[in-house]
């Protein structure tokens, strides 16, 4: 299992097409469409190297040739990314081939994602942060796709332990998930009112976590802290994001499993493919 103890903050990374942090040496075929994806997030993305995992899945699918970049800061909110000179420099710089990013994947801080559903100040902060990032992304590339990464609720055992961070997101894991879902959908709607021509999608990562848990309760999605993902949880999240960007074909055809057991990856994939309605209803 890959460990994350070596993560350094700040984390700024450009990954060439066909080359990941995990040492894959395969090269993207020239006849595949290239997609340039930049990730702005925090430890939920940095744990197990989510951006690189998305790149590996896309590359192995043979559907897209990915160029991956990331700027990940522990505990960051969207508003902090939107005001960070280093993040904005990477956004303006573009991908390793010198071309503008095609996709910006953004992730709000997990507690704020839930609190924004019930507190006006938090709601405004989330909406303002997303709106500013959307405006900055469109200055670089008016057609850029902005993918709003909807995070998952913490493990239900944290409520039994009376975890302060878990209780801040809701009275139960189910309520926390509902709040996160509602806040992300609301933020995207608010941004579209300000920027009606923007291309924004919610990636329903958090919606798939309980579905996978229900179908296969023994699968290890969470790390020991009950907040961050185990490697399989990162794989699940990467499949959802890759599918949001590249469509069902990427999920169907991806062959890379990293260090996850093949059977577990197939179980995760089956849940995603069995529930296309989750993608269709994302953000609604």
Instruction: Delimit the domains of the chain by residue range.
Output: 11-280
β-pairing, 34-41 vs 65-72, is parallel
In degrees and rounded to multiples of 5, residue 125 shows phi and psi of -60, -45
Which CATH class for the 11-280 domain?
alpha beta
Structure tokens at 33: 């469409």
Q: Per-residue pLDDT averaged across 73-91, rounded? A: 96
pTM score, whole prediction? 0.91
Q: What is the pLDDT of residue 284?
A: 87
Structure tokens at 222: 């969470």
Q: What is the pLDDT of residue 31?
A: 75
- CA angle at 68 for the pair 67 and 72, rounded to the nearest 5°: 165
pLDDT in tens, 142-161: 999 999 999 999 999 999 99
pLDDT band at 54 (very low <50, low <70, confident <90, very high): very high
β-pairing, 65-72 vs 103-106, is unpaired
CA pair distance 86, 81, nearest whole angstrom = 9
DSSP H or E segment with residue 191: helix 173-194
CB atoms within 10 A of CB 213: 18
Q: What is the pLDDT of residue 32?
A: 85
Q: What is the pLDDT of residue 254?
A: 97
Whether 273 has a pLDDT exceeding 50, the answer reads yes
Q: Per-residue pLDDT averaged across 264-278, rounded? A: 98
Q: Is the dihedral of CA 4, 5, 11, 14 positive or negative?
A: negative
Whether 140 has a pLDDT exceeding 80, the answer reads yes
Buried/exposed 224-258: b ≥16 CB within 10 Å, e otherwise: eebbbbbbbbbbbbbbbbbbbbbeeebbeebebbb
Q: What is the pLDDT of residue 44?
A: 96
Q: What is the pLDDT of residue 271?
A: 98
Whether 82 has a pLDDT exceeding 80, the answer reads yes
Task: Give the rounded percent of residues in the chain with a pLDDT score beyond 90.
Answer: 88
pLDDT band at 24 (very low <50, low <70, confident <90, very high): very low
Whether 26 has a pLDDT exceeding 50, the answer reads no
pLDDT in tens, 227-242: 999 999 999 999 999 9
Lowest mean pLDDT among 8-22, 57-71, 109-123, 202-216: 8-22
Secondary structure class of 201 (helix, strand, coil): strand
Helix orientation angle between 205-215 and 173-194, rounded to the nearest 10 degrees:
150
């Amino acid at each position: 299992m890959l460990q994350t103890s070596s993560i350094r903050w700040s984390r700024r990374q450009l990954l060439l097409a066909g080359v990941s942090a995990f040492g894959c040496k395969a090269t993207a075929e020239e006849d595949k469409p290239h997609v340039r994806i930049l990730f702005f997030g925090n430890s939920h993305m940095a744990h197990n190297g989510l951006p690189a995992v998305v790149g590996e899945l896309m590359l192995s699918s043979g559907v897209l040739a990915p160029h991956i970049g990331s700027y990940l800061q522990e505990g960051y909110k969207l508003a902090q990314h939107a005001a960070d000179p280093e993040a904005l420099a990477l956004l303006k710089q573009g991908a390793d081939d010198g071309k503008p990013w095609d996709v910006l994947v953004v992730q709000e801080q997990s507690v704020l994602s839930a609190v924004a559903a019930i507190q006006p100040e938090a709601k405004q902060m989330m909406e303002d942060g997303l709106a500013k990032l959307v405006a900055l992304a469109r200055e670089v590339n008016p057609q850029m796709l902005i993918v709003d990464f909807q995070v998952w609720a913490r493990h239900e055992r944290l409520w039994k332990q009376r975890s302060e961070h878990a209780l801040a997101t809701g009275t139960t894991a189910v309520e926390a998930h509902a709040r996160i879902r509602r806040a992300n959908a609301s933020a995207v709607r608010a941004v579209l009112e300000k920027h009606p021509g923007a291309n924004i999608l919610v990636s329903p990562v958090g919606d798939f976590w309980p579905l996978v848990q229900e179908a296969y309760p023994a699968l290890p999605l969470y790390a020991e802290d009950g907040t961050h993902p185990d490697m399989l949880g990162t794989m699940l999240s990467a499949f959802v994001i890759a599918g949001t960007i590249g469509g069902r074909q990427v999920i169907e055809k991806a062959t890379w499993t990293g260090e996850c057991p093949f059977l577990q990856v197939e179980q995760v994939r089956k849940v995603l493919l069995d529930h296309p309605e989750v993608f269709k209803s994302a953000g609604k």
